[in-house]
Amino acid sequence: MATGFLTDTTVCIGCKACEVACKQWNQLPADGYELTGDSYDNTKQLSGTTWRHVAFIENPKKRRLTGDVDLVALAEEVTEQLPGGAELDALGRWAFMSDVCKHCVEAPCQQACPTGAIIRNEFDNVYIQPDICNGCGYCVPACPYGVITQVPHDGRAFKCTLCYDRQRDGLEPACAKACPTNSIMFGEVEELEQIAEERVQDLHDKGYTQAYVWGTPEVGGTGGIKGNHSKFILMDEPEVYNLPRHPYLPQEKVKGGTIASMIAAGVLGAVVALAFRD
């Protein structure tokens, strides 16, 4: 049984309850009190001490609401024919996304880890064993999503554990529990895939044709990663959310590189041998 997240960004309200719940449950230290000026996002990114991060994307392309608009009708998701030709796209004006470890099917960090500290646990989540990690930091540039970092004063690498401890006690992860709009859903991957498909279909039917699932092998997760256990329903291009369009598995070419090196070693050996001829 594989568990994972489905983060439906269309209903995220940017409350950051997931960030707080994650920090609190996992007893993660604060990241300082920097004011970035980047919208309402002062967290900036995922790191070894931030395992949920809410991105705030302001999308001023969609025009503001003008004229006499029936707000009740809007709330009931009637988007067409607004007075004065105005467009109100509540989903487009603000985009929030609660980012998290993608728990790749073929995880680059796990393949990179030389100590075997990074494993797949019984829930098929990618988990770092903190008693094994020796802080070599090789998983950090291996991650195609920039999720893992080393925690400076600790030395080891950390990331989302998908609340391994809570799952073992039959509880859902802290972020999913705290999410007030059910933007963060937790469950079995297959079940979540079905929910995602239905939700995207629903959004398409309502006219939001740009909605799609990110983290399937088709979209995001090509190149050997084979998809993610943490999926997202997005409304814009992946880059807008700081996500790569086609991430790939960095270890895919280790074999090829090694063969190329062997050939080079043979050639260089021959060159040195030739140099001995007077």
As to burial, measured by CB atoms within 10 angstroms (0-12 exposed, 13-18 middle, 19+ buried), residue 163 is buried
Q: Supply the minimum distance, in Å, between the C-beta of residue 41 and other proteins.
A: 8
Contact positions with other proteins (CB under 8 A) in 251-270? 251-254, 256-258, 260-261, 263-265, 267-269
Contact positions with other proteins (CB under 8 A) in 210-229? 222-224
Candidates 83, 84, 114, 180: give the one binding other proteins (CB under 8 A). 114
Q: From 59, 28, 17, 37, select the one nearest 153 (Cα to Cα).
A: 28
237 binds other proteins (CB under 8 A): yes
Nearer to other proteins by Cβ, of 142 and 176: the residue is 142
Candidates 175, 178, 234, 243: give the one binding other proteins (CB under 8 A). 243
Q: Helix, strand or coil for residue 94?
A: strand
Nearer to other proteins by Cβ, of 17 and 57: the residue is 57
Candidates 13, 73, 132, 168: give the one binding other proteins (CB under 8 A). 132
Question: How far apart are alpha carbons 71 and 84 in whole angstroms?
Answer: 15
Candidates 40, 70, 115, 202: give the one binding other proteins (CB under 8 A). 115
Quickly list DSSP for 193-252: HHHHHHHHHHHHHTT-TT-EEESSSSSS-TTTT--BSEEEEESS-GGGGT--SS---GGG
Q: How many CB atoms lie within 10 A of CB 272?
A: 9
Q: Give ∠ CA 233-1-23 in degrees, rounded to 5.
A: 55
Contact positions with other proteins (CB under 8 A) in 53-92? 55, 57-61, 63-64
Q: Supply the minimum distance, in Å, between the C-beta of residue 99 and other proteins.
A: 10
Candidates 138, 164, 217, 219: give the one binding other proteins (CB under 8 A). 138
Nearer to other proteins by Cβ, of 32 and 256: the residue is 256
**Single-letter residue type at 40:** Y
Contact positions with other proteins (CB under 8 A) in 156-185? 156-157
Candidates 31, 41, 124, 188: give the one binding other proteins (CB under 8 A). 41
Question: Are the CB atoms for 107 and 118 separated by under 8 Å?
Answer: yes
Quickly list DSSP for 50-90: BSEEEEEEE-TTSPPP-SS--HHHHHTT--S--GGG----H
Contact positions with other proteins (CB under 8 A) in 21-40? 36-39
142 binds other proteins (CB under 8 A): yes
Please choose, out of 1-9, 10-18, 83-91, 108-116, the segment that lies near other proteins by the rule CB under 8 A: 108-116
Question: Are the CB atoms for 127 and 94 separated by under 8 Å?
Answer: no
Nearer to other proteins by Cβ, of 24 and 210: the residue is 210
